[in-house]
Structure 1
Amino acid sequence: MAASDVAVGIIFLSQTVVGVLGNSSLLLHYLVLYFTGCRVRHTDLILQHLIVANSLALLCRGIPQTMAAFGMKYFTSDTDCKLLFGFHKVGRNVSMWSTCLLSIFQAIKISSGNSKWVELKIKAPRYTISCIYLSWVLSLLLNVINFMYMTAKKGNKTIINVKDYGYCSSIRHDTISDSLFAVLLTFPDALCVGLMLWASSSMVLILHRHKQRMQHVHKTSSSRCSPESRATKTILLLVCTFVSFYTLSCIFQVCMSAMYTPSWFVVNAAFIIAGCFPAASPFLLMSRGYSVSGLCFTWIQNRGTCHIMGNM
């Protein structure tokens, strides 16, 4: 086994273990909220689906890719490959759309009460659940192609009409068809990124105007940020991280589609970068206050006031 394969296997294993532990910690956060009878905010509902999507993307890609890097090449069937690749894409898309929905929802939430978005601001919480489940349905529909064209590696047989992804392969078409397919799947992603950037820009502008207004307040007033401001900064951090990793991932995905035979480096780099956001996002959230220990401490002090969280 080559040293490069061992290094890649360690990277995949570390990324998967760390990411799953981080997402599990946040999941525990919401389980504690549930069992203590606390009402959660609408943004928390979106975050719960983001956690599930992140875990799905990490497990469906990280575990088999780790096994392949350590030399286990032929452990999947055709059905396994279709399910692993398909559900990885579903998890990745829902993770992306959940982040997009978070940024849009928070931009509406902190908008001025007399703005043209006031009606949408009132109605937005009602449609949160519908939008979340719609993202799962659309992700499944968009990734039906992965269930059709993925196939297992056939032992030691050499097949010239497939692209090798380590533990699975996909049926190769001509370069133009593969490129058009990549553009088709990338368009919804690019649309989400555009919406994220628009929402993030709106939040930055709103926060800037709020800061200018607060400069006229006497210095003895409270300097602590509002919950909306803290949530907005958290979501901005998530969006910036996602856009950075997505841009790199998109470049490598296009390269894989355009190449007739993707190289070992391109395939592994694309898969590693695709797992960076699902692995990093829970730690970004916890760094902004979504910690289980902090939650428990707050609950012990304010056990009778949990219900007010639902109004945020």
Structure 2
Amino acid sequence: MVKKKRTFFRFFDVRITIFFEITIGIIANTVLLLFHILTFLLQNRPKPLDLTIAQLALIHLVMLMTMNFITTDTLGFQGWEDGLTCKVIIYVHRLMRALSICTTCLLSVLQAITLSPRNCCLAKFKHISTHHYPCCLVGLWVFNMLLNGRFLVSIGVTPNVTSHSLIFVTESCSLWPINYLFRYIFLSLVNILDISFIGLMALSSGYMVSLLCRHKRQFQHLHSTRLSPKTSPEERATQTILLLTVFFMLMYFLDCATFFSRSILWNHNPVNLCVHMLVGNGYATVCPFVLMSTEKRMIECLPFRCKRQ
């Protein structure tokens, strides 16, 4: 009896932590998005990097808001009675997750292009990315909307009749069985895309690290080692995106590990389910804090910063 009671309180604490994490993430992404909207209104031509960060904040904001509804249903706080709600919530959440990995990869590649020297083959993409970047973002949304469109068809309300062919997504929503060939093609395409994006992140991150190391050696060669080199805005942005990319890859593999462990080993353990939710929301919650911590324009607007000046 004491063991069951202790397990219940542990499960209850984890649930509170999930909602706290979602709330903090929603607030942080809202602040980051509003800041960039204000920046867009004050500038005639926003930079591609700012557009990407604003899109990432919007994606994570919507993803966490839909995750709040999914969590309330999964943990039994509130259920959904109609199939339309299931389709829309699950579809939007899966769409935002797909756009999150695409945009993070795009952010890493874009910073690598920005940091590349003039004699590099990537330098020719600097002007192309500036003029055609909005079209690239629109194409990214359209592609992912079409790719995840199957959730609008295969998601429905869980029936009262027990069926082993259903895959439970939340307490009220289930994934209806589809053709094996179609499911195999979809899963293969999704996995190939995820591996491709992770590979691009790793390549662009390695390229940026090599550029930063080369720049540091050149600076030490030209100047005395006694002088402390000042970090340029480009280097600060690169370090931030490198940190963000590494954290994303870490959380991605950790999310996969917790998903497989929950599916194979602890399928009916509610604590493991909550831990998987915590890991799944980790990147969307931490990402805006990492971006805001090195955003000089936001730091200068803080009250304590104004008082010091």
TM bucket normalised to smaller: 0.7 to 0.9
Q: Does structure 1 residue 159 correspond to structure 2 residue 166? A: no
Q: Does structure 1 residue 49 correspond to structure 2 residue 47? A: no
For residues 135 and 189 of structure 1, the distance between their equivalents in structure 2, rounded to whole angstroms, comes to: 14
Q: Does structure 1 residue 205 correspond to structure 2 residue 225? A: no
| Of 279, 288, 292, the match for 1:286 | 292
For residues 262 and 56 of structure 1, the distance between their equivalents in structure 2, rounded to whole angstroms, comes to: 28
For residues 293 and 38 of structure 1, the distance between their equivalents in structure 2, rounded to whole angstroms, comes to: 22
Offset from partner CA, 1:39-88 (integer Å, 9 cap, x none): 5322001111101111111111223313442x335324211111111111
Structure 1 residues without counterparts, runs of 5 or longer = 301-312
Q: Which moved more, 1:132-141 or 1:160-169?
A: 160-169
- Superposition RMSD in Å: 3.0
Tell me the percent identity. Answer: 26
For residues 67 and 7 of structure 1, the distance between their equivalents in structure 2, rounded to whole angstroms, comes to: 17
| Of 110, 121, 136, the match for 2:115 | 110
For residues 302 and 11 of structure 2, the distance between their equivalents in structure 1, rounded to whole angstroms, comes to: 42
How many pairs are equivalent?
295
Q: Which moved more, 1:29-38 or 1:105-114?
A: 29-38
Instruction: Provide TM-score, normalisation by structure 2.
Output: 0.84
Shift of 1:185: 1.7
Residue 24 of structure 1 is matched in structure 2 by 30
For residues 277 and 180 of structure 1, the distance between their equivalents in structure 2, rounded to whole angstroms, comes to: 28
Residue 150 of structure 2 is matched in structure 1 by 145
| Matching of residues 114-133 of structure 1 within 5 Å | 114-133=119-138
1:275 partner SS = helix
For residues 111 and 218 of structure 1, the distance between their equivalents in structure 2, rounded to whole angstroms, comes to: 22
| Of 221, 226, 246, the match for 1:240 | 246
Q: Is the 8 A contact 1:10 1:66 kept in 2?
A: no
For residues 175 and 45 of structure 2, the distance between their equivalents in structure 1, rounded to whole angstroms, comes to: 45
Structure 2 residues without counterparts, runs of 5 or longer = none
For residues 270 and 232 of structure 1, the distance between their equivalents in structure 2, rounded to whole angstroms, comes to: 30
Instruction: Provide TM-score, normalisation by structure 1.
Output: 0.83
For residues 15 and 66 of structure 2, the distance between their equivalents in structure 1, rounded to whole angstroms, comes to: 15
| Of 81, 92, 101, the match for 2:97 | 92
- 2:165 maps to amino acid: N
Shift of 1:5: 4.9
Residue 249 of structure 1 is matched in structure 2 by 255
Q: Does structure 1 residue 196 correspond to structure 2 residue 201? A: yes
For residues 248 and 256 of structure 2, the distance between their equivalents in structure 1, rounded to whole angstroms, comes to: 12
Higher relative contact order (CA 8 A, sep 6+): 1
1:117 partner SS = helix
Q: Is the 8 A contact 1:26 1:292 kept in 2?
A: no
